[in-house]
Amino acid sequence: MQTNRRENIRSVIRKEFRHIFRDKVSCLLLFLMPAAILLLFGYALSFEVHHHNIQVCNPGHSVAAERLFTQLDANPNLRVVGRVASPAQIGDAFARANTRAVVMYRDDGIDVFVDGTSSQLAFSIEVRLGAVIADFVKHEMRMAAAPESGLPVRYLYNPSLKKEYMPVPGLVLMIFILVSSIVLGTSVNKEKIQGTFRMLRMTRMTNGELIAGKALPYFLISLFHVVMVFLICLYFGIVIRGSLALFFGLCILYSACCMSLGLLIASWFDRPLDVLVLCWIVLFIPNVFLSGFIFPVSSMEGVIRSIVNYLPGTAFISAFRNIAYKGTGAAENLSWFLILSGELVLATALSLIGFRRRIPR
């Protein structure tokens, strides 16, 4: 009797392993995802920023200023990425480059301008700049006339360092992923499971017309959320400094990109659980944790940082902060718009191929 029980248990174990290895999604969840999560949280993701990009300004062409700039660039946590010709160009320096601070040397002192859209990064760079400048002033006072001690910091775009400036873009990102990607993807998959999608394909409609009909209601709902985003910004006291047309265009483009990604997953996978799990793992988790919403992108190293720059969430948050907080225009955000547009076109094309292969006429 005991031998039979053991054999029964062994047979169930063998059967279960066959099911696991036969199902690609189960293998992905059981073997690859834990390793990926450990890699992301153990190596790629960190609250510690390894280096800050800064620019320098020396309007008086001072020799002492060049010594200070050399010390700043020699610091492993700071990186001088450019020079500002005059104080009037400081705003352009923040708008056109990945710059966190500008250090300007004057005959009567040193001014530091810091991007205040992220209070966490603002405090971090202030500490690092303060240490280098304090050491420089200490040694300069022994040599010749030196600038006054102290570090007058001016926070640009968010002078009072309101905490609401940092989470709003990420919260908007999550709303669009939930509504535009996950809900739309599961809705299309439900149609496929119930057989209504196949019945609709038997009509004169093309794949494009059918997908457009399914996506447009969710697109209209997304437009409602775009307006809500604008009202939420006003509620938190966040003034949209840039063009409202560009701001709304960014939100609409990102919503459409999310919908295309949700349709892409729904077109190639049939089981509801597969679609739901992949939407969360492939769309939600990477775009939330790797986009700069929770962990700074500048804290990531190597290949991971190169990849996250092309995530739709990274493009959206970067462009959102530039347009809403810094007031930049289309030229400064062209690369982010191109990334979102390219992913929208590619995902839509692959979705059409997936629906054509999975649900033939």
Percent residues over pLDDT 90 in the chain? 10
Supply 336's token pair. Answer: 């982010």
**What pLDDT, in 10s, does the model give residues 193-211?**
777 767 766 767 777 777 7
CA 132/CA 68 separation, integer angstroms: 8
CA distance to 208, 217, 359, per residue, from 198 (Å): 14, 20, 6
- Sheet-wide strand order for 101-106: 78-84, 52-57, 101-106, 109-115, 153-156
What does the CA dihedral 112, 113, 117, 122 come to, rounded to 10 degrees? -10
Encoded amino acid at 50, one letter: H
Q: What is the mean pLDDT of residues 261-276?
A: 84
133: three-class secondary structure by DSSP? helix
Of 321, 332, 337, 317, the closest CA to residue 115 belongs to 321
171-189 b/e (C-beta count within 10 Å ≥ 16 → b): ebbebbbbbbbbbbbbbbb
Residue 162 confidence class, pLDDT cut points 50, 70, 90: confident
pLDDT score recorded for residue 163: 73
**What pLDDT, in 10s, does the model give residues 291-333?**
877 777 766 766 777 788 889 999 999 899 889 888 888 888 9
CB-hemisphere CA count at 13 Å for 6? 3
Does the pLDDT at position 336 exceed 90? Answer: yes
All structural domains of the chain, each given as residue ranges with its CATH number in brackets, are 52-156 (3.40.1710.10), 163-358 (no CATH)
Does the pLDDT at position 146 exceed 60? Answer: no
Secondary structure letter of residue 180 according to DSSP: I
Q: What is the mean pLDDT of residues 44-64?
A: 77
- For the chain, the average pLDDT equals 79
State the DSSP string of 287-353. HHHSSSSSS-GGG--HHHHHHHTTSHHHHHHHHHIIIIII---TTTTHHHHHHHHHHHHHHHHHHHH
pLDDT score recorded for residue 106: 82
